[in-house]
Amino acid sequence: MIELLDPTTGVATQTIAYVDRPASLEGKRVGLIENTKFNSDRLLAKIGDILKSEYGVAEWRMYRKHNASVPAHEELIAEIRKSCDAIVAGIGD
């Protein structure tokens, strides 16, 4: 019999407090978080326009992260918290 030590570590679980999803986007202000990848701003602007024309969003505004590999920085999150009711964020190539 050989006894082995486990080399893995589970990721620590975190509790994240989400605000409730709005029942409707009608009249809401939407933030679009752009990750700096090529054309991500154009894709998000398109999404923003659809949210306005089809879902009644009042306005959208684009926010830019420092780069795609890092979380949104504190100043950006503070600004979004003040001026948005909902956000669209994502990552992809």
- Chain positions contacting other proteins, by CB under 8 A: 1-9, 11-12, 14, 38, 66-71, 93
Backbone angles phi, psi at 25, to 5 degrees: -90, 0
Strand pairing of 59-64 and 29-34? parallel
Measure the CA–CA gap between 53 and 72, rounded to whole angstroms: 27
CB of 18 to other proteins, least distance (A): 17
| 3/20 with CB nearer other proteins | 3
Q: Which is nearer to other proteins, 53 or 67 (CB)?
A: 67
State which amino acid sits at residue 66. Answer: H
At 34, give phi and psi (nearest 5°). Answer: -95, 130
Q: Is 5 or 19 the residue whose CB approaches other proteins more closely?
A: 5
C-alpha Rg value of the chain to the nearest Å: 18
* Shortest reach from residue 82's CB to other proteins, in Å: 25
Closest distance between other proteins and the C-beta of residue 36, in Å? 8
Closest separation in Å from C-beta 13 to other proteins: 8
